[in-house]
Amino acid sequence: MSALLTLKEVAELEHKDYFTVTKQIQRNKLEAIKIPTDSRQGFEYRVPISELTEKAQARYYASLQQLVEQPVLEEPETPEKYEQEIDELTGEQRDEIAFWKRAIDSWRSYIADFPKQRTEKTKEFIKIFNSMNPERAISERTLRNKYKLYKDHGDVALADHRKNRKDRGSTTINETLQNVFTQWWLDENQPTTSYIYKLVEAWAELEMPQLLPIPSYDSFYRLTKNIPLSVVKYFREGEKIFTDECAVYLKRMYDNLDSNDIWSSDYHTLDIFVRDDMTNKVFRPHVVVWIDVRSRKILSMALCESSNSDGVIIAFKKAVKSYGLPREVYLDNGREFLVRDFGGRGKRKSSAKNDYGTTMLERLDIRMTNARVRNGRAKVVERSFKQFSEEFSRLYLTYTGGRPDRRPERHSEVMKDETNIPLRSEVETALWTYIEGWHNCRESQAEGLYGKTPNECYETNLVKKRTATAEELDAIMLRTSRLQTVNRNGVYLKFGDRKVWFYDTDLVYNYLGHKVYVCYDSEDLSRVIIRDEQERRIGYATILEVGGYNKEMDKEAIKKVKSLENAQRQLVKGFKAERETETPDLLDVMLRKAQQNIDNNTHTYEAKVIEAFTTEEKTMPAAVGDSTVLDFDKMTENAKKRRGIT
């Protein structure tokens, strides 16, 4: 009779899963024998080796050959795991021992008075015990096995030793297969374990058939679970995730900070849709906040259509006017924060030769520190943003969820009705009410707050407050353009691809062709301040009218520009008119001066060499050395030397 194999053994030899083999037997595609057992089913299937495919039979006999070649080790009478001391076990294992000792003691006490009914009373005890301990039900078989182990090996035998096996984490997978599988699986594209397993199997068939059959899929799956989490995070999810979740970081201490020592800022996209009050455009708004690091109190906010530097500066002005000036600001490396006129380009600075003026933070004597690139832990406001989503955004009908799979099913229908979409101004007012009246007034167990509210912590730790008058702040906290040259249309500010021109007659008259800075308030562009290269204020300019293709608007723009042109023309004419005096005739002055120069001419024009001009033909000398031949060129050279002419 051929050997009988369990279904698990058949599955491994045929490279199929357990359930596929079971279905084949149930559908009479694979012959099997039923063996009676004590299991719930009452029997188990066994498959004769002759029913397997040729490849599976070859694998079976190859495994038998390996077993024959390996030496058989005698198992010690007492397993090593039962020779441990109680102190060597984990707390969980000691709890396990205590549980089973209580169960065994209760069982032995329950059946002690019924020596001839122990089987029935044991079943009765099991029912009572399980009803009293539904979360930890036990079976009669397990109870008797535990009792036997307890008698043979003592308390230690009652512990679950599976987690402490010496071979835990080890594998029978060939080292070469392990390396290939690991290299392919540890990739940022995050291939699935099952797919890599199939590729490894295909590679082994092509390149290393001696390693066939490779271990089961479950063996490789367990291999992935034994790879350190930090390794998985680094290679499958990227360096940033590894840094944020696995790498050691500096534990920040807040107790040595005071309120207003350090402020931080960040943007967050709200999970709702709003309508613009003027254009009716629908969009998800971006909120920028400034937060005090010591107390985590949100000091100000601004709601914008997109993340930009204007929102950062507008919110910063609000915070400064309400709470004074910070000693330092701590910002990430977003473009909306690292702008030339606010704090400078920071780590984005590309050239030492720039045409930037003094930054706003420099004028306010505030130091700017930039977080390390891609350092998510630097953002102390992230927790607040999560609360915005959970406690504020979810209250709106246009809530859209942070991801598409979290979007409410009704969202599409809601967005079809414009009246369901709140106005931007309404949301901005409501959000600030939530921040000031809910977020800042709520007790927190965050590091350094010790159960206080942000408002209480800010007040307690506010030791020094630097302030300035509203007029001084308005003057200092203006945005500044790059250095530019004043041209005939004045100066301009560039917003995206559009240039907005500002003009002043005196400015163009006095500084045409000069380089200047344009200082402006992004909330009021009706007038700008002009400063020279030394950043001294030299004047103002107002927004210049522009024409288009609308006749009425075009007429008004032309009138405005014409009036500015006339004013400039009058200034130009006035320059000469102011300097008009009784002046002589130009021709008379020129002729009189020329005659004076003629009268004063004392130069004589005597030459040292006189050469007579003759029309007679030149004749050659009669003989060499004839003394009558004159060399005028030689004479001229000698005369130049005597006069010092070179």
Two tokens, residue 143: 């109870």
In whole angstroms, what is the distance from residue 489 CA to residue 471 CA?
Answer: 30
Residue 566 has pLDDT above 70, yes or no: no
In whole angstroms, what is the distance from residue 104 CA to residue 110 CA?
Answer: 10
354 or 119, which is more confident: 119
State the average pLDDT over residues 190-200: 92
State the average pLDDT over residues 294-318: 91
Say what angle helices 140-153 and 118-132 make with each other, to 10 degrees: 100
In whole angstroms, what is the distance from residue 42 CA to residue 36 CA?
Answer: 6
449 or 341, which is more confident: 449
Residue 456 has pLDDT above 90, yes or no: yes
Task: Compute the C-alpha angle 360/363/369, nearest 5°.
Answer: 65
Residue 425 has pLDDT above 90, yes or no: yes
89 or 357, which is more confident: 89
From 524, 520, 489, select the one nearest 504 (Cα to Cα).
489
Q: What is the pLDDT, as a whole number, of residue 435?
A: 94
Q: What is the pLDDT, as a whole number, of residue 159?
A: 84
Residue 556 has pLDDT above 60, yes or no: no
pLDDT band at 174 (very low <50, low <70, confident <90, very high): confident
Read off the pLDDT of residues 84-108 as tens digits, 9 standing for 90 and up. Answer: 777 777 888 888 888 998 999 989 8
Read off the pLDDT of residues 404-419 as tens digits, 9 standing for 90 and up. Answer: 888 999 999 999 999 9
For the chain, what is the mean pLDDT? 80
Q: What is the pLDDT, as a whole number, of residue 73?
A: 45
**Residue 149 CB burial class (10 angstroms; 0-12, 13-18, ≥19):** middle
Domains of the chain in sequence order? 4-69 (1.10.10), 91-164 (no CATH), 175-245 (1.10.10), 262-460 (3.30.420.10), 478-544 (no CATH), 546-576 (no CATH)
201 or 402, which is more confident: 201
In whole angstroms, what is the distance from residue 341 CA to residue 604 CA?
Answer: 70
Residue type, 563: S
pLDDT band at 46 (very low <50, low <70, confident <90, very high): confident
